[in-house]
């Protein structure tokens, strides 16, 4: 079976609802659904999150990051952390845990190494997306954070399925980029009930065409992808990357400031966000 056939089979299973989520992913999805309930208040959210110690730790860390704590007023309890972040960021973190858990567990060592790099890349892109949204493109920073956390979810699912398809991760990932990522990603994102604006942004990312000057959620995600210091291990083709025509040091004039100046000013914010997102 070639890779394209394997992608078709994986995508067909997703479309038909045959999604093999580990038990811990199912728990995290139930948490996401509970947090979406308009009657869910902070106390209830705190009790739900307490059942996921890893998520609880990341919530407190994110609440104390420069992005959410510019005045350095550190907190240590979960309820205060949730109050500071808000439910939008909380749902984003719960879905980030879903993505990370997909490729967890008993994967081969080589596959786990890919998963670790993919998560480092995801965390960098999410952190940069939030800063770029706030400082450059003017879109909702929380939506940008969420888009960054979700933009490689199909890749994590690919890694989870790879033991059932020998040779799927061999060689480069040209076929994944050209065919598989969108083929698997679209039904998977729909199955995960990803909001339409975020799904549209990820489709812009799959297309790979960055508008100049960048505007909108899709461009925010693309620019963050290009500026990430850790590349996606699934987007390598030979020695290049997914966007060989875009200079990683590109200067974008925004108001009276250049992109590199804005990123330099935001270095601490990006670093603290990245650290908080490292599950």
Give the pLDDT band (50/70/90) at residue 258: confident
Q: Where are the domains of the chain?
A: 3-277
Q: What is the pLDDT of residue 242?
A: 44
Per-residue model confidence (pLDDT) at position 126 = 95
With beta carbons less than 8 A apart as the criterion, state whether 119 and 100 touch. yes
Give the model's pLDDT for residue 106: 67
Lowest mean pLDDT among 93-107, 122-136, 258-272: 93-107
CATH of segment(s) 3-277: 1.10.3210.10
Give the number of other Cβ atoms within 10 Å of residue 71's Cβ. Answer: 5
At 190, list the tokens.
Answer: 């729909």
Contact criterion met (CB below 8 Å) for 159 and 118: yes
Distances (CA, A) of 216 to 91, 103, 139, 199, 222: 22, 30, 6, 13, 10
Looking at residue 240, what is its pLDDT? 39
Contact in structure between 198 and 185 (CB atoms under 8 Å): no
> Above 70 in pLDDT, residue 111?
yes
What is the per-residue pLDDT for 241? 43
User: What are the tens digits of pLDDT across the range 32-55?
Assistant: 788 778 888 888 888 888 878 888
Please give the biggest Cα pair distance in the chain: 56
- pTM, two decimals, is 0.88
Would you say residue 179 has pLDDT above 90?
no
């Amino acid at each position: 079976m070639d890779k394209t056939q394997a992608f078709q089979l994986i995508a067909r299973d997703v479309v038909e609802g045959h999604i093999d989520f580990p038990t811990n992913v199912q728990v995290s999805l139930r948490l996401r659904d509970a947090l979406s309930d308009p009657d869910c208040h902070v106390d209830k959210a705190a009790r739900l999150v307490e059942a996921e110690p890893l998520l609880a730790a990341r919530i407190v860390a994110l609440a104390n990051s420069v992005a959410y704590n510019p005045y350095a007023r550190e907190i240590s309890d979960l309820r205060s952390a949730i109050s500071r972040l808000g439910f939008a960021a909380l749902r984003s973190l719960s879905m980030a845990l879903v993505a990370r858990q997909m490729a967890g567990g008993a994967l081969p060592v080589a596959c786990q190494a890919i998963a670790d790099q993919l998560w480092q890349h995801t965390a960098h892109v999410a952190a940069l997306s939030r800063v770029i949204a706030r400082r450059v493109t003017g879109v909702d920073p929380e939506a940008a954070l969420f888009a960054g956390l979700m933009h490689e979810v199909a890749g994590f699912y690919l890694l989870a399925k790879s033991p059932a398809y020998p040779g799927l991760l061999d060689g480069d990932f040209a076929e994944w980029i050209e065919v598989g990522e969108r083929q698997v990603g679209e039904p998977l994102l729909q199955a995960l009930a990803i909001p339409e604006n975020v799904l549209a942004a990820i489709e812009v990312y799959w297309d790979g065409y960055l508008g100049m000057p960048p505007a909108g959620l899709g461009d925010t995600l693309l620019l963050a992808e290009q500026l990430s210091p850790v590349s996606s291990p699934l987007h390598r083709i030979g020695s290049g990357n997914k966007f060989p025509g875009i200079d990683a040091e590109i200067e974008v004039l925004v108001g009276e400031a250049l992109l590199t100046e804005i990123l330099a000013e935001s270095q601490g914010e990006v670093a603290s966000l990245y650290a908080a997102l490292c599950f």
